[in-house]
Amino acid sequence: MSDKFAGLTQSQLDAHWMPFTANRQFKKDPRILSAADGCYYTDAQGRQVFDGLSGLWTCGLGHNIPEITEAVSNQLKELDYSPAFQFGHTKSFQFAERITQFMPDGLNRVFFTNSGSEAVETSLKIARAYWRQKGQPSKTRLIGRAKGYHGVNFGGISVGGIGTNRAIFGETLTTDHLRHTLLPENAFSKGMPEKGAELADDLTELIALHDASNIAAVIVEPMAGSCGVLPPPVGYLQRLRDICTDNNILLIFDEVICGFGRMGAKTGSEAFNVTPDIITLAKQITNGALPLGATVFKQEIYDTFMDTDAPEYMLELPHGYTYSAHPVPCAAGLAALDVLEQQQLIPRVARTAVHFEKTIHELKDCPNVVDIRNYGLASGITLHPYPGEPAKRPFEVAMNMWDKGFYVRYGGDTIQLGLPFIVEESQIDSVVSALSESLDECA
Ligand code: PXG
Ligand code: PLP
């Protein structure tokens, strides 16, 4: 069990083109995970590795949850697949209603997808179709925000605001972007930063430029995750909400990371007390055990499609995936939300976040740390870059952490933590103290 290649041949390693991975580096020095339980992975050499990102923001309940395993295995034995179009099975309806219990009031119609990226495409397509359905077909323009991450499909990269994720793929949809909210004067803010609410007024300027009659929707992450954890400035989301309401523009919150507990609340909407018209979900929805995403709509959007003179046998919306509402991930999701609720993990996140905030900010004086941001059980630590090589230092720190037995995320000039909801204070202290050592060693 001490072979870091886990018995894989070079040709097997070469056959898999890995996603968002430095393939050449990985295949020389693979990091293979072979098992997981609670807050720990076991790697191919049998080492225990602390899961500092809950998988990829997916496994807040921890790993190897017996209730999920049982639900999935029972579902596979009972009904392994059911056609998604024109036929149904009980789990998707039960799960849809269960999801709405976690959503803000009024968001109560659920469309199933297989990933966050598809949840985003679904939100953008339906936003456009909604206005057409309401007799306003010119409302097509979609607005995102700089540094936003909305998955990797064409709609998502069009509204997305991370240049490296779109630059090589050629033409995208015609979109606009609000400025991001990462202000130097907010460095080392704890929780929501004080300054920056007025950045929401960028939307007013875009409305002046294009006219609201041409704008379908604005999409933002309530707390931007992938670009390095940016909690919204105080008052910012409410201002966006007000401008959207005043101008008949749909507001979409991409809650793929924020949804189901990460913020110490059911959603980012609840944490920041602002209700959008549409919410996208994925990741934590099944605790990562199986792929599933969802897009949740306020009822009036759904009703707009149902309120039609077309014959009842006609489809109201030509959209959906072969695996939309697949019974097995629906069963996993039902079990995951039951565990989240029964173990009262959302209030636990809110409580643990207090210790996490205090502890993570103790890294302020470590070498090369230029900013630390946090909310709930999420944190982003920005590192001073090597000249011309912004991504190198986070890579070095993350590899040093891996050697010490801690998995943390690195991307751009940032190290990210997304701790499991079940984390103990002593484990928070261990990961932060290891990070402090790594920052010293990589200085
Ligand atoms: N929207 C948001 C806000 C996301 O965070 C997606 C959409 C896309 O979801 P899928 O399931 O298609 O990947 C995401 C995904 C990171 C990291 O390190 C974040 C994501 C994915 C992988 C890594 O922060 N977010
Ligand atoms: N490509 C082809 C040729 C297909 O037949 C389908 C679905 O039937 C798709 C793509 C879309 O696949 P999915 O529904 O899994 O997104």
Among 121, 149, 162, say which to mutate for ligand 1: greatest number of ligand atoms within 8 Å of CB. 149
Q: Is the CB of 149 under 6 A from ligand 1?
A: yes
pLDDT greater than 70 at residue 428: yes
Give the nearest ligand 2 atom to 84 CA: 14
Residues 251-289 have pLDDT tens digits of 999 999 999 999 999 999 999 999 999 999 999 999 999
Question: How many residues appear in the chain?
Answer: 443
Residue 1 has pLDDT above 60, yes or no: no
Domain ranges within the chain, ordered by starting residue = 31-61+344-441, 68-342
User: Which residues lie below 8 Å from residue 362, measured CB to CB, with a gap of 6+?
Assistant: 432, 436
Q: What is the dihedral of CA 62, 280, 329, 407, to 10 degrees?
A: -30
Amino acid at 156: G
Atom of ligand 1 nearest to the CA of 120: 7
CA distance 419 to 405: 15
Q: What angle do CA 204, 202, 137 make, to 5 degrees?
A: 55
Centre of ligand 2 from the C-alpha of residue 103, in Å? 30
- The mean pLDDT value for 90-116 works out to 98
In the predicted model, is pLDDT for residue 13 greater than 70? yes
Task: Give residue 72's Cα distance to chain centre.
Answer: 23
Determine which helix (DSSP H) or strand (DSSP E) holds 28, and give its type and residue range. helix 23-28
Span from the CA of 320 to the centroid of ligand 2 (angstroms):
10
Ligand 1 pocket residue status of 98, Cβ below 6 Å: no
- pLDDT confidence of 390, banded at 50, 70, 90? confident
Asked if pLDDT for residue 2 goes beyond 80, the answer is no
Which pLDDT score is estimated for 393?
95
Chain center to CA of 29: 28
User: Which numbered ligand comes closest to the C-alpha of 326?
Assistant: 2
User: Hey, what are 337's tokens?
Assistant: 């939300």
pLDDT at position 4, please?
Answer: 82
- CATH code given to domain 68-342: 3.40.640.10
Judged against a pLDDT cut of 60, whether residue 422 lies above it is answered with yes
Per the DSSP assignment, residues forming a β-bridge with 217 are 142, 250
Strands 40-43 and 250-254, by their bridges, are unpaired
- How many other CB atoms sit within 10 Å of the CB of residue 398? 22
CA 365 to centroid of ligand 1, rounded, Å: 30
What pLDDT score was predicted for residue 410? 95
- Whether CATH 3.40.50.720 fits 31-61+344-441: no
DSSP SS3 for 379: strand
Q: In the prediction, which pLDDT does 200 show?
A: 98
Average pLDDT, rounded, for the chain: 97
Q: Do domains 31-61+344-441 and 68-342 have the same CATH topology?
A: no
Once rounded to an integer, what is the mean pLDDT over residues 333-355?
A: 98
Distance (Å) from CA 357 to ligand 1 centroid: 23
Q: What is the pLDDT of residue 56?
A: 98
Task: Give the per-residue pLDDT at 336.
Answer: 99
Spell out a b/e string for 260-279, using b for 16 or more CB atoms within 10 Å of the CB, else e: bbbbbbbbbbbbbebbbbbb
CA 209 remoteness from chain centre: 31
Check whether 67 has a pLDDT greater than 90: yes
Question: What is the distance between the alpha carbons of residues 363 and 390, in angstroms, rounded to a whole number?
Answer: 20
Give the percent of the chain with pLDDT over 70.
Answer: 100
Q: 115 C-alpha to center of ligand 1: Å?
A: 9
208 CA from centroid of ligand 1 (Å): 32
Distance, in Å, from the CA atom of 367 to the CA atom of 403, rounded to the nearest integer, reads: 19
What gap in Å lies between CA 429 and CA 146, rounded to an integer? 33
Task: Give 191-223 pLDDT, tens digit per residue.
Answer: 999 999 999 999 999 999 999 999 999 999 999
* pTM value > 0.95: yes
Binding site membership of 335 for ligand 1 (Cβ less than 6 Å):
no
Cβ–Cβ < 8 Å for 402, 219: no
Is 254 near ligand 1, meaning CB less than 6 Å away? yes
DSSP 174: -
Indicate whether 115 pLDDT > 50.
Answer: yes
pLDDT value at 44 more than 80: yes
Ligand 2: residues with CB < 6 A are 321-323
